[in-house]
Structure 1
Amino acid sequence: MIKTFFAAVSAVTLLSALPAIAAETLDETPRIAVMSAFGPEWIELQAALSEREDYEVNGTTFATGLIEGKPVVLFLTGVSMVNAAMTSQLVIDRFNITSIVFSGIAGGVNPERHIGDVIVPAKWAQYLEVTLARETGEGEFAVPSFQTAPFPNYGMIFPQEVEVAREGGELEGKFWFDVDADLLAIAEKVAAEVELEHCVEPSNCLTTTPSIHVGGNGVSGAAFVDNAEFREYAFETFEAQVLDMESAAVAHVAYANGVPFIAFRSLSDLAGGGEEANQMGTFMGLASANSAAVVTRFLAELPAE
């Protein structure tokens, strides 16, 4: 047993002394990473892709090619913060990425926005990185003494900053991750040029014509929200225009790697704010098409590398 133990320790020591093997770069062409979370979004964007060549890494298909003449790598993250972060780092490690663009659907938070609208926030936060606090009295909660409460709580839920690793091993506490200013300026220009769809079929149209809104805040977290009270909390606390389950995770990874980032999110539902049952199943196709249309136009407006 002793010999086995020391042999194992020696093996670990030897492995730790070996140089790390860098991941293979699959394609040297400078490309824009264009990503979506699930099927309908991915399908819409593939229709605009030409000169396609596929690569598979860890089960994820990365499709390179051109959209509006711009070199891109198109892929599906899968729903969830973890999936989004993992595939974002993967594409940065395996391709030559100049910027990251997210296209997808989301839940509307601002009561002045409507299903079908496309929202392009100026910054994103991981609003469900939280402390579930101890109850100190009936309906009263308190975080541990070594923590702070930078935002109003929702019952026992106290939002917290996340820590981002920086060079030299330092950790930076951060809540908001800014979108790239140059990319946002191009989005503002595009907002006046794209006409959005408003009908699923001739007999099923939205009562409000969709529009594009650039700026404000977006929030992301590991929860599908279909609750009017919590939606109101998210709007009042974070001034959130929209919430989803991926964008802030991608913004975090982009920030840590120094890669410009922007996200386009079209509203498929109102996160519990509508009078009827959640309408994502009805309008996710329309919302996906609207987001993809704006992203395609956005890519056309990007300056050539």
Structure 2
Amino acid sequence: MDSIGIIGAMELEISLLLKNMSFDKEEKHAGFKFYLGKIFNTDVVVTCCNVGKVNAAACTQILIDKYNVKSIINTGIAGGIHSDVKVCDVVISSDVAHHDVRKEQMETLFPYRTSFKSDENLVKTAVCACEFIGVKDWNHHVGRIVSGECFVSDRGLKQKIVNEFSPHCVEMEGAAIGHVAHINNVPFVIIRSISDNADDSANETYNNYESVAAIQSANIVLNMIKLMKDM
């Protein structure tokens, strides 16, 4: 199969994609559902990995092994970290990193790197998709996305992550997806719409913008597929 793999952590993050999809079949492996079909006449496998890096890594490996996808797009929401990134802005990954694993460990143990670089063509396509939408209410940014096994809602932890990694946003799956994609030589990109500022008010802001941000990120992925089809 020569499909695009699309991963969201929550059903909300893939609901718009499923609405625009013509289904061939649905399969289940290790508790994960995989939806096979077409979006804009392009073969896709859409899946929900659930929250957290371990879930994301396991789901990604199944997507690669079982469906032999040619590329992976991860869609979802995140907490803004960079001062230029506002709620409802979009961050496209230049690279991804684990903020809760020591850099020394990543450097000295397999796969011997502290971050994983996104595919340049997928990044360019994501940028074009944002520009194609042409909405003036939000900006798009290309920058580092970091992941860890916690929801960041504390200014102290946020500042620690900023000092160590200089990311644009923080979430809980992207680095695991990029890590697994990298060791399998599969191109990837992470798309994140900002639901909160990863600070002391994060829980309240997240609740207000979760749905808006999730739909916005999925809409960018839909436009990416349109552009990739025409290339």
Specify the TM-score bucket, using the shorter chain as the normaliser: over 0.9
1:1-305 correspondence to structure 2 within 5 Å: 29-130=1-102, 160-161=105-106, 171-196=110-135, 209-213=137-141, 215-272=142-199, 274=201, 278-303=204-229
| Aligned residues between the structures | 231
Q: Which has the larger radius of gyration?
A: 1
Structure 1, residues 32-85: CA drift from partner, whole Å, max 9, x if none?
100100121022221121134111112211001111221100000010000000
Post-superposition offset of 1:126: 0.7
For the Cα contact (< 8 Å) 2:153–2:203, is it kept in 1?
Answer: no
Take 1:161 and 1:57, find their aligned partners in 2: how far apart are those partners? Answer: 29
Structure 1, residues 282-303: CA drift from partner, whole Å, max 9, x if none?
1100000110111110111115
Take 1:282 and 1:173, find their aligned partners in 2: how far apart are those partners? Answer: 39
Q: Which amino acid aligns with 2:139?
A: S
229-238 or 75-84: bigger deviation:
229-238
Between Structure 1 and Structure 2, which shows a larger proportion of helix residues?
Answer: 2
Residues 273, 115 of structure 1: alpha-carbon distance in 2 compared, 3 angstrom cutoff: farther
Q: How high is the TM-score relative to the length of structure 1?
A: 0.71
Segments of 5+ residues of structure 1 without an aligned counterpart are 1-28, 131-149, 151-158, 165-170, 197-207
Q: Which amino acid aligns with 2:221?
A: V
Residues 172, 53 of structure 1: alpha-carbon distance in 2 compared, 3 angstrom cutoff: closer
SS of residue in 2 equivalent to 1:290: helix
Post-superposition offset of 1:273: 6.0
For the Cα contact (< 8 Å) 1:79–1:245, is it kept in 2?
Answer: yes
Residues 103, 172 of structure 1: alpha-carbon distance in 2 compared, 3 angstrom cutoff: closer
Take 2:221 and 2:212, find their aligned partners in 1: how far apart are those partners? Answer: 14
For the Cα contact (< 8 Å) 2:118–2:178, is it kept in 1?
Answer: yes
For the Cα contact (< 8 Å) 1:62–1:75, is it kept in 2?
Answer: yes
Q: Percent identity?
A: 27
263-272 or 36-45: bigger deviation:
36-45
The runs of at least 4 aligned residues of structure 1 exceeding 4 Å deviation read none
Segments of 5+ residues of structure 2 without an aligned counterpart are none
Structure 1, residues 4-48: CA drift from partner, whole Å, max 9, x if none?
xxxxxxxxxxxxxxxxxxxxxxxxx21110010012102222112
Take 1:271 and 1:190, find their aligned partners in 2: how far apart are those partners? Answer: 26
Structure 1, residues 178-223: CA drift from partner, whole Å, max 9, x if none?
0011111212222211145xxxxxxxxxxx922222x221101111
Q: How high is the TM-score relative to the length of structure 2?
A: 0.92
